[in-house]
Amino acid sequence: MSLWRKLACGVLLLVLAVSLAASWIAPGGYARQDRDAAGAPPSRQHWLGTDEIGRDRFARVLYGTRISLLLAPAAALVSTAFAALVGGLAGYLGGVWARGAMAVTDLFLSLPWLFLLITVRAMLPLNVSPTFSVLVTFLLLGLWGWTAAARVLCASASSIRNSDFVRQARASGVRGSRLFWIHVLPNLKPVLHAQFWISIPAFILSEANLGILGLGVSEPLPSWGSLLKELEGLVSVGEEPWKFVPLLLLVLVVTSFQLVLSNRNEVAA
């Protein structure tokens, strides 16, 4: 493991640990208002100042980081599982199944996902609870992100299907689901791992984009997207630099992911 990768792993673990300890570090929580200090600059009491309704920005960054860092892997898990099911099975079965599954995958790949995502997100009633909005946002990301991975997995499963050890297993009488679960799927693990890990930063960035557009996690729950929405009100970059802390943290985390995954990208390709 190179020095850069070790450093990136360390940064990710540190950020995750700090965000998990948010309840101890910022016991006031992300929703408590200090109405006398609304829109206040950083102070000893509020390290990153407060937002326009007096909520502590530092606490919101910690809780927002926790939400993004815990739910992005969950969305990645959903998309990888879906991709494994569609792509893996299509590649394993081959023939008409593979062609059919890949046609569906191509269809999904050619649809502009951001447009569809906001269409489906817009379907939700206005009065959904914040927790439900978080779950739906990340679930939608997971359900929409499986296509590219399914293509890769189909190609990998197809090559495994034609490999000597699978032919030997088939000749020995191993059939159907047992062949898939015991012999094919375990050999797809490296590709599945790679797809899972490379989906995480992509989902973090997607949630941030949706959040800035006001279509992500609902208030009062914080997320990196909703925290970055504050940048919209700035007149100049140097005006309130502490508002850029969530952006710096996001860039740091996504860069760390890219560094950690640099060799996994090659596996996925």
- Using rule CB under 8 A, residue 98 touches another protein: no
In the complex with another protein, the residue whose CB is nearer, 1 or 123, is 123
- Using rule CB under 8 A, residue 155 touches another protein: no
- Using rule CB under 8 A, residue 125 touches another protein: yes
Q: Which of 64, 73, 145, 201 binds another protein (CB under 8 A)?
A: 201
- Using rule CB under 8 A, residue 231 touches another protein: yes
Q: Which of 59, 215, 227, 268 binds another protein (CB under 8 A)?
A: 215
Q: Which of 37, 74, 114, 267 binds another protein (CB under 8 A)?
A: 114
Q: Which of 112, 164, 172, 177 binds another protein (CB under 8 A)?
A: 112
Q: Which of 40, 209, 220, 242 binds another protein (CB under 8 A)?
A: 209
- Using rule CB under 8 A, residue 121 touches another protein: yes
- Structure-derived torsion over alpha carbons of residues 243, 246, 248, 253, reported in degrees to the nearest 10: 180
In the complex with another protein, the residue whose CB is nearer, 46 or 218, is 218
- Binding part of the chain for another protein, among 71-79, 92-100, 165-173, 254-262 by CB under 8 A, reads 254-262
- Using rule CB under 8 A, residue 52 touches another protein: no
Binding site for another protein (CB under 8 A): 106-107, 110-116, 118-123, 125-126, 201, 205, 208-209, 212-215, 225, 228, 231-232, 234-237, 247, 250-251, 254-255, 258
